[in-house]
């Protein structure tokens, strides 16, 4: 899609749909919406008076222009209450409005930048948020469906800003918004791929391809290399599948010689049957999304590789398929992870923490000074936080707070869970250093504390996205069933904010 910012008067622009806005409770529109209203002989004011337009958040009202201005129709997008308006609302409003325009068959959509004028937001940040929300809201996954004639597509998106200097700055910001959305949409694409297509090898190839496009180094370990490194936990999970495991590492060097290296480690189980501790058949197809942590890391690395913050970042992607083959590991098996710790396999369905254990060890070996892992790790996290917020477990308050702040700036919700030492006894084993399950109580926390054993003294935060990766509670920028791309944008913003601190 083509995106432009033009310094023109809003009433002179040609478009299939022109998006303007209105705060909740405003009876006579001002600013750009006021200009359009006057050009239409007060049509918007009339609709407000008759109660058809209220300005509620997410409301989109179509007004036909009947040749009074070059734009064929005007879409009045409700912004909600002025006091509650922020950049996340800009994304939500932009997504809702552009989708309405697409449904009406508009190929060329023009919009004002919500919040840049009377909304009092920074005009650059607002422009980035409009583009981010627009591209996230228009996302579809149609790789495996025939494209029909009825498939409607927005091909051109134009932002208007009468001040030429501001318009230039907004064009740079629009590029940033586009990069954030496209990285997220890449993560969504990977998540939505079927598990017969996106095998561990295919996922590693996709990661390598993204790295190549960005001019970044990418290392891919095979099973033999993992064996030499002592990655017994990861190899144990993979041994039940005919598909070999892989570990892809994308290396972004934004601060060569810098002391800090952030590692983003994403769970890449391309399909989780549960293994010998087999899952019930109902809903098992959803376990193709068990690589969404890895997908978010690939998406974030693409954003980081394009925006080039001054920090070193490793994207670590351990990937395997959890299958109950004849060579599969059994409950009762004991494996040894790369840091030498032994693990009793209590349940082969707690596989995510096993592949992450070795990946976290490897990130430390590569020099990571801060580690964030992302995983569709536990059903317990879905019970605790539902499909609204992702869970956070961390061994470091500063890193946890940085993650929460980056999430807030992205409109992706996180909630920190307690990690008291008292929970640790649940993952003690009678036969090994640890066991891979901690029973039903506090399942999301004990899973996190298991991972903490491999992060050791490195500052680390774990993001459990089991409830948000593919069944996110509806929000305008995530209208479809399927992968949400969470938390690619938060991870990229985290890297940008850490870069600013050093």
Q: Which residues are near ligand BES by CB under 6 A?
A: 272, 290, 347, 349-352, 376-380, 382, 437, 443, 466
Give, as ranges, the residues between 309 and 368 that touch Mn ion (CB under 5 A). 349, 351
- By beta-carbon proximity to Mn ion, the closer residue of 36 and 380 is 380
424 classed as catalytic: no
Residue 365 among the catalytic residues: no
Span near Mn ion by CB under 5 A; candidates 104-112, 173-181, 217-225, 265-273: 265-273
User: CB of 493: closest distance to Mn ion in angstroms?
Assistant: 29
Whole-angstrom distance, CA of residue 130 vs CA of residue 111: 9
- Give the residue from 130, 182, 100 showing the smallest Cα distance to 5: 130
DSSP state of 245: P
Q: Could you give the CA distance from residue 208 to residue 218 in angstroms, rounded to a whole number?
A: 6
Does 453 participate in binding Mn ion (rule CB under 5 A)? Answer: no
- Structure token pair of residue 437: 């399950």
**Nearer to Zn ion among residue 117 and residue 352 (C-beta):** 352
Task: In whole angstroms, give the CA distance from residue 360 to residue 382.
Answer: 24
Q: Stretches 231-239, 270-278, 413-421, 457-465: which one binds Mn ion (CB under 5 A)? A: 270-278
Cα-Cα-Cα-Cα dihedral sign, residues 305, 307, 313, 317: negative
Gap between the Cα atoms of 350 and 352, Å rounded: 6
Please enumerate in sequence order all residues whose Cβ is within 8 A of that of 226, keeping only pairs 6 or more positions apart, or say none.
234, 235, 245, 247, 358
* Residue of minimal Cβ distance to Zn ion: 272
What is the β-pairing status of strands 342-344 and 268-272? unpaired
Q: Residue 352 CB, nearest distance to ligand BES (Å)?
A: 5
CB of 386 to ligand BES, least distance (A): 12
Minimum CB–partner distance for residue 240 and Mn ion (Å): 12
Q: How far is the CB of 483 from ligand BES (least distance, A)?
A: 12
- Cβ proximity of 172 and 131 under 8 Å: no
Contacts of residue 436, Cβ cutoff 8 Å, sequence gap at least 6: 343, 344, 345, 346, 347, 350, 353, 354, 427, 450
Question: What 3-state class would DSSP assign to 206?
Answer: helix
Least CB distance to Mn ion at residue 328 (A): 13
Which of Zn ion, ligand BES, Mn ion, none lies near 382, with the C-beta cut-off 5 to 8 A by kind?
ligand BES
The site for Zn ion (CB under 5 A) is made up of 269, 272, 290, 352
Catalytic-labelled residue, pool 56, 175, 279, 408: 279
Q: 3-state class of 189 per DSSP?
A: helix
Q: Which residue in the list 353, 364, 370, 489 is annotated as catalytic?
A: 353
How many CB atoms neighbour CB 41 within 10 A? 11
Choose from ligand BES, Zn ion, Mn ion, none: what does 437 bind? Cβ within 5-8 Å by kind.
ligand BES
CB of 346 to ligand BES, least distance (A): 8
Please identify the residue of the shown chain whose CB is closest to the bound Mn ion: 349
Q: Residue 379 binds which one of ligand BES, Mn ion, Zn ion, none, with CB within 5 to 8 A depending on kind? A: ligand BES
What residue is closest to ligand BES based on CB?
379
Q: Are 275 and 352 in contact (CB under 8 A)?
A: no
Helix (H, G, I), strand (E, B) or coil at 450: helix
Secondary structure class of 166 (helix, strand, coil): helix
Contact between 272 and Mn ion per CB under 5 A? yes
Which one of 120-128, 144-152, 268-276, 487-495 is the stretch in contact with Mn ion (CB under 5 A)? Answer: 268-276
Which option in Mn ion, Zn ion, ligand BES, none does residue 331 bind, with CB closer than 5 to 8 A by kind? none
> Is 123 or 288 the residue whose CB approaches Mn ion more closely?
288
Tokens (6 digits) for 83: 């006091």
Q: Checking DSSP bridges between strand 246-253 and strand 217-221, what pairing results, if any?
A: antiparallel
409 binds, among Mn ion, Zn ion, ligand BES, none (CB under 5 to 8 A by kind): none
Helix ranges, 42-122 (H): 43-49, 87-103
Instruction: Give the nearer residue to ligand BES in terms of CB position, either 23 or 414.
Output: 414
Catalytic residues: 279, 353
Contact residues toward Mn ion (CB under 5 A) are: 272, 349, 351
């Amino acid at each position: 899609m083509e995106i432009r910012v033009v310094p023109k008067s809003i009433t002179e622009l040609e478009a299939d749909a022109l998006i303007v806005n209105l705060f909740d409770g405003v009876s006579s529109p001002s600013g750009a919406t006021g200009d359009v209203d006057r050009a239409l002989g007060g049509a918007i004011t009339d609709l407000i008076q008759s109660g058809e337009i209220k300005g509620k958040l997410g409301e989109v009202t179509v007004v036909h222009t009947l040749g009074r201005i070059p734009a064929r129709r005007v879409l009045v997008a409700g912004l909600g209450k002025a006091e509650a308006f922020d950049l996340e609302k800009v994304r939500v409003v932009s997504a809702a409005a552009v989708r309405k325009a697409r449904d009406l068959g508009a190929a060329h959509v023009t919009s004002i930048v919500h919040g840049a004028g009377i909304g009092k937001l920074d005009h650059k940040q607002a422009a980035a948020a409009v583009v981010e929300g627009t591209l996230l809201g228009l996302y579809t996954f149609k790789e495996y469906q025939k494209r029909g004639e009825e498939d409607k597509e927005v091909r051109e998106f134009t932002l208007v800003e009468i001040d030429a200097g501001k318009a230039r700055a907004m064009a740079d910001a629009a590029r940033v918004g586009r990069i954030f959305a496209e990285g997220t949409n890449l993560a969504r694409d990977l998540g939505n791929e079927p598990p017969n297509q996106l095998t561990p090898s295919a996922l590693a190839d996709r990661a390598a391809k993204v790295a190549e496009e960005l001019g970044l180094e990418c290392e891919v370990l095979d099973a033999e290399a993992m064996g030499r490194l002592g990655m017994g936990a990861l190899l144990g999970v993979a041994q039940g599948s005919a598909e070999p495991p892989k570990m892809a590492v994308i290396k972004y060097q934004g601060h060569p010689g810098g002391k800090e290296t952030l590692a983003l480690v994403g769970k890449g189980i391309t399909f989780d049957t549960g293994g010998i501790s087999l899952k019930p058949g109902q809903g098992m197809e959803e376990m193709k999304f068990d690589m969404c942590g890895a997908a978010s890391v690939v998406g974030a690395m693409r954003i980081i590789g394009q925006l080039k913050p001054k920090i070193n970042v490793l994207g670590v992607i351990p990937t395997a398929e959890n299958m109950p083959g004849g060579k599969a590991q059994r409950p009762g098996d004991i494996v040894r992870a790369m840091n030498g710790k032994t693990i009793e396999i209590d349940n082969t369905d707690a596989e995510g923490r096993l592949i992450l254990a070795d990946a976290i060890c490897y990130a430390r070996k590569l020099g990571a000074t801060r580690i964030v892992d992302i995983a569709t790790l536990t059903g317990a996290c879905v019970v605790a936080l539902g499909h609204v917020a992702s869970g956070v477990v961390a061994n470091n308050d500063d890193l946890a707070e940085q993650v929460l702040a980056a999430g807030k700036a992205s409109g992706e919700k996180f909630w920190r869970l307690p990690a008291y030492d008292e929970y640790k006894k649940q993952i003690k084993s009678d036969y090994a250093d640890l066991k891979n399950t901690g029973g039903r109580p506090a399942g999301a926390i004990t899973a996190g504390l298991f991972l903490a054993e491999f992060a050791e003294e490195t500052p680390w935060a774990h993001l459990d996205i089991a409830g948000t990766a593919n069944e996110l509670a509806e929000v305008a920028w995530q209208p479809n069933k399927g992968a949400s791309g969470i938390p690619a944008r938060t991870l990229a913003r985290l890297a940008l904010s850490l870069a600013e601190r050093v």
